């Protein structure tokens, strides 16, 4: 199948604008490969430190052998349900490496906070910047010249993007990402949403809300809604950094363990010592990045990746822009409906055919680059298959051409919608992003007076006072990376959804994040320049008429131009609002953060 002309055009634009930076990156990783096992170039004292705590057989292999040593970079902790299964992965990986004549060591750990726990709390102000800290920790873990390949144990929100950015700084190493899989399905997502809205309206108790949440988040594994964590898994597979079909297989099963053993074998097959050497930095190129953007559109993935993919691309010497997302969204159909864009969760998506079906459909339509490198070798066609166990052996079988559930996953001939549901917005408020895959047709354009807030909690307080029973656009500002680390504003969703259900025309404009959790409420997010940098959003006053138009791709304050330009941006005393524990440690990140459209990080 020929590549779709828009896919080819966007990819070529990225290639052209990235030519110098990509060439410099490849030259760097080529120079870093060296000859033979890197550890044999260490001094005796260096090497002795490196194997001092190993078992005798591993110590002998590291001292005298020439087989690869695999780094394990882990984000294990007990608090993240998604990461708890990683507790036993290092020993499984070490045992597997030994059977293959190699060794493996835990090279280091990275911090792994849970956005689900920190939502609406001061800790959320540290979340986005933890991505850059994770990148640094990953690089520190790999800095010892002891390794010929690496396995990255990470799943959630900022953790996979941070690990990948750090891994790309050591892009001469072969590498793969190792998932652990989603928890079993809990109560239906619609039921959970109804309880949340009832609580927001004062019609459900805290005990009822907690019971609903506990029945939803109830075991080991990734949360099953399609937020950033599961978007990460989709990206790692469609970019060729997972094994085929590995993303959404359940944790702690024989098939999951078989996939984990198999990924060790794959990395050893492509490590720096092998004849099939394929470093991570050669896998993550312009075509793989474009495939990732296509996957986001086709699945209705997290808007956080308008930050993360841009930052990941930059780490590989590739210049990705929001305009590229916009151009691809216009031609990539939405093939999946997974909560919050539908009733189903990722287990239903996986059972319906999952990533294998999705990739198969997109390849047939010319909407993915097949001519990419993957950990399975050249070609994304390796990912048209699904894993299974036959008499204890791992095999991959061709995926069905028929969806197992058309309410969740559809073919290219009958998409849920013809575009990816993501739009860029421009106007006198700056630039922003809106996810419209769940927005009703009659809410694609909202024009209403602004009500300005500097805190998301102030929106709920105004609601409780009965001040929001009207049409309005909530302008929630001073939430950007320089102001307070660009926290996710999920606490807004139940209140705004409830008001919309009451018949009011409401919308949101913010320089913060929503992760796609805005659902049915039109939300212009990631507005840049941010208020703290003097962006236009800081000029908005309560009562100004604001128009958010997802059809035309505009967001405007409808005041006379001379009055608008004469206004002085307002400032917020952020120290009064938030001084959460740990915040002062991230002052460097806030002061150095680039704008949202450049990835909102310090790299």
Q: Are 376 and 387 in contact (CB under 8 A)?
A: no
Among the ranges given (278-282, 478-482, 540-544), the one the predictor scored with the smallest mean pLDDT = 478-482
Whether the CA torsion 181, 126, 165, 318 is positive or negative: it is positive
Question: Could you tell me which of 84, 74, 339, 350 has the C-alpha nearest to residue 218?
Answer: 84
Whether the CA torsion 120, 338, 552, 507 is positive or negative: it is negative
Residue 346 reports pLDDT greater than 90:
yes
pLDDT of the residue at 579: 56
Q: Band of the pLDDT at 518, cuts 50, 70, 90?
A: low
Beta bridge partners of 448: 546
Question: Could you tell me which of 239, 292, 372, 286 has the C-alpha nearest to residue 17?
Answer: 286
User: Cβ contacts of residue 218 below 8 Å, gap of 6+?
Assistant: 183, 184, 186
Q: Are 307 and 526 in contact (CB under 8 A)?
A: yes
- When pLDDT is averaged across residues 235-256 and rounded to a whole number, the result is 97
Q: State the virtual CA torsion across 166, 321, 454, 504 in degrees, nearest 10.
A: -130
Quickly list DSSP for 7-56.
HHHHHHHHHHHTHHHHHHHHHHHHHHH-SS-GGGGS-HHHHHHHHTTS-H
Q: What are the pLDDT digits (tens) for 549-574?
A: 999 999 999 999 999 999 999 887 66
Among the ranges given (105-114, 246-255, 573-582), the one the predictor scored with the smallest mean pLDDT = 573-582
User: Cβ contacts of residue 356 below 8 Å, gap of 6+?
Assistant: 244, 245, 383, 384, 385, 386, 399
pLDDT of the residue at 437: 81
Q: Band of the pLDDT at 520, cuts 50, 70, 90?
A: confident
Q: Are 375 and 259 in contact (CB under 8 A)?
A: no
Q: pTM of this prediction?
A: 0.95
Q: Which of 30-34, 203-207, 378-382, 497-501 has the highest mean pLDDT?
A: 378-382
- When pLDDT is averaged across residues 75-88 and rounded to a whole number, the result is 95
User: Cβ contacts of residue 599 below 8 Å, gap of 6+?
Assistant: 307, 308, 310, 311, 314
Q: Are 575 and 117 in contact (CB under 8 A)?
A: no
Q: Band of the pLDDT at 602, cuts 50, 70, 90?
A: confident
Number of Cβ within 10 Å of residue 96's Cβ equals 20
Q: Are 304 and 515 in contact (CB under 8 A)?
A: yes
Q: Band of the pLDDT at 105, cuts 50, 70, 90?
A: very high
Residue 542 reports pLDDT greater than 90:
yes
Q: Band of the pLDDT at 336, cuts 50, 70, 90?
A: very high
Q: Are 311 and 161 in contact (CB under 8 A)?
A: yes
Between CA 157 and CA 127 the distance in angstroms is 9
Question: 278: which 2 tokens?
Answer: 């394929």
The residue length of the chain stands at 603
pLDDT of the residue at 514: 85
Question: 432: which 2 tokens?
Answer: 């922003």
Between CA 492 and CA 457 the distance in angstroms is 8
pLDDT of the residue at 273: 87
Among the ranges given (18-27, 51-60, 120-129), the one the predictor scored with the smallest mean pLDDT = 120-129
Q: Mapped to the 3 state alphabet, what secondary structure does 525-585 carry? A: EEEECCHHHCCHHHHCCCCCEEEEECCCCEEEECCCHHHHHHCCCCCCCHHHHCCCCCHHH
Between CA 471 and CA 500 the distance in angstroms is 9
Q: Are 186 and 226 in contact (CB under 8 A)?
A: no
Question: 453: which 2 tokens?
Answer: 């807030």
Which secondary structure element, helix H or strand E, spans residue 294, and what is its range? helix 286-299
Whether the CA torsion 129, 550, 190, 194 is positive or negative: it is positive
Q: What are the pLDDT digits (tens) for 248-294?
A: 999 999 999 999 999 999 999 999 887 899 999 999 999 999 999 99
Question: Could you tell me which of 341, 308, 492, 361 has the C-alpha nearest to residue 4?
Answer: 361
Residue with tokens 């989603």: 182
Q: Band of the pLDDT at 386, cuts 50, 70, 90?
A: very high
pLDDT of the residue at 186: 87
Residue 575 reports pLDDT greater than 60:
no
H-state helical runs in 220-269: 228-238, 254-269
pLDDT of the residue at 581: 64
Residue 192 reports pLDDT greater than 90:
no
Between CA 444 and CA 529 the distance in angstroms is 23
pLDDT of the residue at 574: 63
Between CA 9 and CA 101 the distance in angstroms is 45
Residue 577 reports pLDDT greater than 60:
no
Q: Mapped to the 3 state alphabet, what secondary structure does 437-492 carry? A: CCCCHHHCEEEEEEEEECCHHHHHHHHHCCCCCCCEEEEECCCCHHHHCCCECCCH
Residue 190 reports pLDDT greater than 80:
no
What average pLDDT does the structure give for the chain? 93
Q: Band of the pLDDT at 125, cuts 50, 70, 90?
A: confident
pLDDT of the residue at 578: 57
Residue with tokens 């800081």: 538
pLDDT of the residue at 463: 95
Percent of the chain with pLDDT over 90: 75
């Amino acid at each position: 199948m020929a590549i779709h002309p828009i896919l080819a055009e966007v990819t070529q634009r990225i290639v052209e604008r990235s030519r110098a930076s990509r060439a410099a990156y490849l030259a760097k990783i080529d120079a870093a490969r060296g000859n033979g096992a890197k550890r044999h170039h260490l001094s005796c004292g260096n090497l002795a430190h490196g194997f001092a705590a190993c078992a005798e057989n591993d110590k002998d292999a590291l001292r005298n052998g020439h087989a690869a040593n695999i780094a394990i970079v882990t984000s294990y902790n007990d608090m993240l349900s998604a990461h708890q299964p990683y507790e036993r992965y290092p020993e499984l990986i070490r045992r597997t490496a030994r059977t293959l004549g190699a060794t493996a060591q835990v090279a280091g750990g990275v911090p792994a906070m849970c956005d689900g726990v920190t939502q609406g709390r001061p800790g959320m102000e540290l979340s986005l910047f933890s991505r850059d800290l994770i990148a640094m920790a990953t690089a520190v873990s790999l800095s010892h010249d002891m390794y010929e390949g690496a396995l990255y144990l990470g799943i959630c929100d900022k953790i996979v993007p941070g690990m990948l950015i750090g891994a790309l700084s050591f892009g001469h190493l072969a590498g793969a990402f190792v998932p652990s899989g989603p928890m079993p399905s809990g109560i239906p997502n619609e039921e959970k949403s109804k309880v949340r809205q009832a609580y927001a309206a004062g019609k459900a108790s805290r005990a009822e809300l907690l019971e609903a949440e506990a029945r939803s988040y109830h075991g080991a594994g990734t949360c099953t809604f399609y937020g950033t964590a599961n978007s990460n898994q989709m990206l790692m597979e469609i970019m060729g950094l997972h094994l085929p079909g590995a993303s959404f297989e359940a944790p702690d099963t024989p098939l999951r363990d078989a996939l984990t053993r198999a990924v060790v074998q794959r990395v050893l097959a492509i490590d720096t010592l092998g004849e099939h050497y394929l470093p991570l930095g050669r896998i993550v190129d312009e075509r793989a990045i474009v495939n990732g953007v296509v996957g986001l559109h086709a699945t209705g993935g997290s808007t956080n990746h308008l930050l993360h993919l841009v930052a990941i691309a930059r780490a590989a010497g590739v210049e990705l822009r929001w305009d590229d997302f916009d151009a691809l969204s216009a031609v990539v159909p939405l093939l999946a409906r997974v909560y919050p864009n539908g009733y189903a969760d990722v287990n239903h998506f996986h059972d319906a055919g999952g990533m294998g079906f999705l990739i198969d459909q997109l390849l047939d339509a010319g909407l993915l680059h097949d001519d990419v490198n993957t950990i399975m070798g050249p070609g994304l066609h390796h990912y048209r298959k699904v894993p299974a166990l036959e008499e204890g052996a791992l095999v991959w079988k061709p995926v069905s051409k028929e969806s197992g559930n058309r309410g969740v996953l559809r073919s290219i001939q009958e998409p849920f919608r013809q575009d990816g549901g993501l739009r860029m917005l421009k106007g006198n408020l700056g630039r922003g992003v809106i996810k419209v895959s769940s927005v009703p047709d009659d809410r694609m354009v909202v024009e209403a007076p602004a009500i300005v807030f500097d805190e998301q909690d102030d929106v709920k307080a105004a609601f409780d006072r009965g001040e929001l029973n009207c049409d309005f656009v909530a302008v929630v500002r001073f939430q950007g990376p320089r102001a307070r680390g660009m926290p996710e504003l999920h606490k807004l969703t139940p209140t705004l959804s409830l008001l919309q259900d009451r018949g009011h025309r409401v919308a949101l404009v913010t320089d913060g994040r929503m992760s796609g959790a805005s659902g049915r409420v039109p939300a212009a997010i990631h507005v840049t320049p941010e208020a703290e940098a003097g962006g236009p959003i800081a000029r908005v006053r309560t009562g100004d008429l604001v128009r958010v138009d997802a059809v035309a791709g505009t967001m405007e304050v409808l005041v006379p131009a001379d009055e608008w330009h004469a206004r002085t941006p307002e400032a917020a005393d952020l120290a009064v609002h938030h001084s959460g524990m740990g915040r002062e440690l991230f002052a460097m990140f806030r002061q150095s953060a680039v704008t949202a459209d450049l990835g909102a990080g310090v790299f």
